[in-house]
Chain A
Amino acid sequence: MTTSVRSMRVRLLVVLVLALPAAAGGQGTLSAQGLGYPPGQLSTRARGTAGALAEFDALSPLNPAALSSIVRSTLYFQYEPEFRDVVTGTGSSRTTTLRFPLTTAMIPVGERFVVGLSLSTLVDRTWATQFTSRDPIGPIDTVTSTQTFKTTGAINDIRIAGAMRLGGRAQAGIGVHVYSGENRVTLSRDFANPGFAPFVDTTRLDYGGSAVSVGGQLRVARGVALALDARKGGRLRMREADTLRASGSVPDRIGAGLLVDAIPGATLAVRYVWEGWGSTQSLGRALFASNTRDLSIGADVVGPRVGRSPLLLRGGVRSRELPFSARGERTTESSIVGGIGLPLADQRASLDIAVERASRSGIAGVRETATILSIGIAVRP
């Protein structure tokens, strides 16, 4: 690769990142209906390939067998702001949501085993809406008021998993998941008429549930690997002030991945995931929950060297269905992603950066776009 070609690629990346804030649409509440928006439990590395590598990625808490690729104890932390734009018939709104969607610790035990503990966001229900209306009060009165609905919080997935290498070609893993989280929800209405007192009501929903997952990886041929994993959801309970309000099930999940690394320095992957979000239907009052499909294709290639380490370049596209919708129409999300990986400190740390541009639709006349900046830092002491 010539220097000029490398230079052009780097310039392209710089232009891409710099252009993002200006071009960013943002993500709105089209995607965060129901129990919230599922970020996908993807590490920045996996997100850089649009999720295509997730079934093989040890940092993503999806396939427990993927932990087996860890050869040194690793701590991983991820930050992921999302800039949304929601465009409706009445105008557009821009919002910013901050997330810390994934923290992981992994330790090899002997030569064949790896155990890991991870905390990741299953669904994030953080958003707020505000609108002003003029409503009739009684037979002759009208009153102008501003109504605000705000919810913060998430359902998180705490996973303890172990993986084992079965010879040189196969790996298997098992994970136990505990789901915990809360939604702090505030509903308020402020009236323009001073004769009215403001209305504010705040409550907290607590969630608790469990699941188990199993997974495997198999190198079926030189340069070709398959991954398969499944999660079986247990009971998911919703409580309000210690009172059981509703219960459903943690969604079952089946994921499959195909990885091709026959070309030195380049890894191509395809991933397909099915999740049974319909099992959460009973948790809501008027929840429109449905099972989802997720298809992504991506690549991770070795780029130019920075210092003594190669710069990893990533990219991918993804199309998926979102589990919750406002009125029952299916909400879909299409994304294009780019990212880099930069080994640091003689491979004892790494910095991953990914930028995802997503477009969501589902309700006629409403369009939502988002830019997700994902930054992951892994330390291997």
Chain B
Amino acid sequence: MDSLRIRIIPLVIAVGVATLAACTETLENTRSCPVLCPGQDLPVRDTLVDAVMFDTTVGTYPPIGAELYIPLARRGDTLDVRGVVRFDSLPQRAVTKAGDTTTAPIALVDSARIVLRLSTPKVRPAAWTVEVYDVDTTAADPLTAGALFRPDKRLGVRDFATADSDSVSVPIDGAQLLAKIKAKARLRIGLRVTGTPTPLEVRLGTIESGTPAQLRFRASRDTALRALTVNVLSTTPDNDPFLRATLTDYAIVVAGPPPPDAQSLAIGGIPAWRSYLRFDVPSRIADSTTVVRATLLLTQRSNPRSPLSGDRMLIRPQVVLATPQVTDLYKAALQVDATPGFFGADTLSLVPIQASLVSIDMVRLLRRWRNVPLADAQRAIVVRAAEEGTGTPQSLFWSRRATDPAVRPRLRISYIPRVDFARP
């Protein structure tokens, strides 16, 4: 009997091993379809729909004063971008003798200069000149400063070469600065770049980029004394602190490309434009199917008038997050997702002078919109230049008002119809 008991042990062990081996379920059968998979077909259908119900060009961007860099640019008569920097608080007293600790009213200005910090320019000119003007005015509209770049208002000028460093200074008239200090007035300077050949572009740092211009001067002829540094500050308008802060330094477009015609959508340029496209996907697709691919097809229109039209530029589609209650499209086009690729659309590269078909991936966005009530989303995107306001190229696309229907924006949708798959 003991021997039988011993012999039964392998049987128990075998059953135990088999039981343990069956502890993990493996269900996937990879070889039996399609013969054993009736009714499991998932057909993918493809269609081209005019889903863009509204499109337009909105601009210009960035909003005044929000520039990371002021693009001081010239391109013949077609482009002239200037900058304004405000020093609304000038010092009245300073140490005037070396080793002294007491201050005295400023009665002398020596070595006055504007220090500019530059970013890598889009076009690095071989030789270029920066002119500084007194553009202070009592007018409320900050753009009126653009009319004050007159010879009688010029404070200083300096020539530069390509090799100059990214931090340059432009000397200004000390007497005029002293007069402002004594009058307790403010200093608002206008900056523009000149030179040949054009186009020219010099990117000037701003308070938004953390590299604003500075005013420096000495209140004595004693070179042992450190120069005074005056930082940018705007004190107007009184009633709008946000605008007051943004107007510390800003760009003025004195001359730029005209807005695009009605048949076109514009992207980029100086000033920069954005294309706004609102969608209405047919309910037979949006409500009754699962979209597996959605591609916005934009037909690019050659734009030989664009500055640097042969250069490659980057454009970025972004989803409009503004609700339908935001009816100002300029503002709506500012309320976009901040994360590149938020809805799966990558930054695209194109050349303005070329005419091509541009595809923007929108499948994740369409799926997102499906779950958002119409009252909560504009169901729109903007397509903008990746380097908005600093890169000069401008691309054009045919809008839904193009006379040729074949070049209008279209949405190519691949979808899987709703299938009753669960019932055997």
Contacts and interface: CB of A to CB of B under 8 A. Distances in A.
26 contacts: A3-B3, A7-B7, A11-B7, A13-B11, A17-B15, A21-B21, A33-B36, A81-B19, A93-B28, A93-B31, A98-B22, A128-B29, A129-B32, A130-B28, A131-B30, A150-B27, A195-B295, A196-B363, A198-B292, A245-B423, A284-B423, A285-B423, A286-B39, A287-B423, A340-B11, A353-B15
What bracket does the count of chain A residues touching chain B fall in? 35 or more
Contact of A366 (B36, B361, B363): B36
A199 B292 CA distance: 7
B131 to A, nearest CB: 51
A196 B46 CA distance: 12
Contacts of A246: 423
Interface string B348-391: 00000000000001011001000000000000000000000000
Given A93-B32, A285-B424, A306-B8, 5 more contacts: A30-B32, A127-B27, A191-B292, A197-B293, A327-B38
Nearest to B25: A98
Q: Which of A28, A84, A137 has the most CB of B within 10 A?
A: A137
Q: Which of A11, A87, A152, A326 has the most CB of B within 10 A?
A: A326
Given A20-B18, A189-B42, A197-B364, A131 B290 contact: no
B10 interface: yes
A196 B306 CA distance: 34
4 smallest beta-carbon distances between A and B, as pairs: A81-B22, A138-B46, A128-B27, A131-B33
A305 B424 CA distance: 49
Given A10-B8, A81-B19, A130-B30, A196 B423 contact: no
A76 interface: no
Interface stretch (B174-182, B236-244, B400-408, B413-421): B413-421
A263 interface: no
Contacts of B344: 197
A196 B293 contact: yes
Interface stretch (A57-65, A140-148, A314-322): A140-148
B29 A97 contact: no
A377 B144 CA distance: 94
Given A197-B367, A205-B422, A129 B29 contact: yes
Interface string A290-320: 0000000000000011110001000000000
B363 to A, nearest CB: 4
A29 B36 contact: yes
B27 A14 contact: no
B290 A201 contact: yes
A375 B15 CA distance: 9
A208 to B, nearest CB: 15
A68 to B, nearest CB: 31
B42 A199 contact: yes
A7 B15 contact: no
A204 B1 CA distance: 55
Nearest to B34: A131
A130 B28 CA distance: 6
B44 interface: yes
Contacts of B183: none
A21 to B, nearest CB: 6
A284 B422 CA distance: 9
Nearest to A324: B424
Interface string B5-16: 101101100110
B147 interface: no
B37 interface: yes
Contacts of A135: 44
A28 B28 CA distance: 10
A54 interface: no
What bracket does the count of chain B residues touching chain A fall in? 35 or more
A3 B3 CA distance: 9
Contact of A28 (B5, B32, B293, B363): B32
Given A17-B15, A326-B38, A91 B31 contact: yes
A185 B196 CA distance: 72
Contact of A283 (B28, B295, B424): B424
A307 B420 CA distance: 58
B162 interface: no
A361 interface: no
Contact of B40 (A83, A187, A327): A187
A311 B4 CA distance: 11
B101 interface: no
Contacts of B31: 86-88, 90-93
A69 interface: no
A204 B421 CA distance: 11
Contacts of A137: 44, 46, 293, 414
A187 B421 contact: yes
Nearest to B22: A81
Nearest to A89: B35
Contacts of A171: none
Contacts of A151: 422
A245 B422 CA distance: 11
B26 interface: yes
A369 B19 CA distance: 19
A91 B10 CA distance: 35
A381 interface: no
B35 A365 contact: yes
B362 to A, nearest CB: 10
B422 A183 contact: yes
Contacts of B36: 28-30, 33, 86, 88, 129, 326, 363, 366
A17 B31 CA distance: 28
A327 B4 CA distance: 51
A245 B421 CA distance: 12
Given A95-B27, A98-B25, A306-B5, A129 B290 contact: no
Interface string B288-306: 0011110100000000000
